[in-house]
Amino acid sequence: MAINMASLVYPVMILLIMGYVIDCQALQKGFYSDTCPKVEDIVKSTVQKAFNDDATIAPGLLRLHFHDCFVQGCDASVLISGDSSERTAFANAGLRGFEVIDDAKSQLESVCPGVVSCADILAIAARDSVSLAGGPSWSVELGRRDGLVSSASDVSNLPAPTDSVDVQRQKFSDKGLSDNDLVTLVGAHTIGTTACLFVKYRLFNFTATGNSDPTISPSFLSKLQNMCPQSGDSSDRIPLDKDTVSKFDVSYFKNIRDGNAVLESDQRLWGDSSTKSIVQNYAGNIRGLLGLRFNLEFSKSMVKMGAIGVKTGSLGEIRKVCSQFN
């Protein structure tokens, strides 16, 4: 008897979608109101202290949460240390903020032992980091449990700075995220830095004929070449937002509009009609109103991203130490 493959695939897809929705519903505001009511206060004070010492920790913690959610879901698998764990992968080489999460976890274990997951701590810390950098705040839905798997080989599906819009779109779509989520979440590049390693190829030999990336504005090209000279150290870091590297705002989108994006993947958003219109909406001309719109959309997209592949109920575990399985 012939088998209709669609009849097998579609139910699986429906189950996956249902599973995603159920996971979203399993997270809730006030999850620790009875078991550890001071969890958000403790995480916030820990992040605040780290931020006061070094404001660049804000983009570090935000990126840490993003990299966690895109691999195995938001389950703190990126925090596991050891051979062949996620954090050993090349794409995760520049991740920062592990010590902040460890500090918060240690404090929480002293007042609420075995209650708060590392995945939830990371989600709260990312929110607080954005707020401290001048961005929005939002209610973080909690109830995640920590994953039991962390493998460097799973990191290949992370968005990369050389990705075309189609590749970016597919990677985000695979996680249940839309074009609007894609552009909005990539807007996190309004704070933080990147290594010259991910920029140089655009500046000196983009087409293997010695040319630069033609989408870079001429005036910005010369600045980038000065910051990342061809014979310079590829580990040197430069701002992702040329204007306000430490402030969470919409200038990043203006940079894309004007050909001043540092990463190729970011500049490519201007070359696709769908993503271009979203960038345009955020860039605009009225800074205050458009900044507010971006803040609202970023909050919504972060909540959506924070529900990707979460483990709840009896799945996973509550780690005692965030860097190792129990």
Tell me the catalytic residues.
67
Residue 240 DSSP one-character state: S
68 is in an annotated binding site: yes
43: tokens are 């995480």
Ligand-binding site membership of 218 (annotated): no
The response to whether 190 counts as a known ligand-binding position is yes
Q: Binding site annotation covers 239?
A: no
Q: Residue 75 annotated as binding? A: yes
Task: Please report the DSSP string for 168-227 in residue order.
Answer: HHHHHHTTT--HHHHHHHHGGGGS-EEEGGGTHHHHH-TTSSSPPPTTS-HHHHHHHHHH
Annotated binding-site residue? 71: yes
Residue 100 Ramachandran class (φ > 0 left, ψ -120 to 50 alpha, else beta):
alpha
Task: Please name the helix (run of DSSP H) or strand (run of DSSP E) that holds residue 238, with its range, or none.
Answer: strand 237-239
User: From residue 151, how far is each of 80, 85, 131, 204 by CA, in Å?
Assistant: 9, 4, 31, 35
249 is in an annotated binding site: yes
Q: How far apart are CA 126 and CA 64, in angstroms?
A: 8
Which residues sit in the known binding site for substrate? 159
Which residues sit in the known binding site for heme b? 189
Which residues sit in the known binding site? 68, 71, 73, 75, 77, 86, 159, 189-190, 241, 244, 249
Which residues sit in the known binding site for Ca(2+)? 68, 71, 73, 75, 77, 86, 190, 241, 244, 249
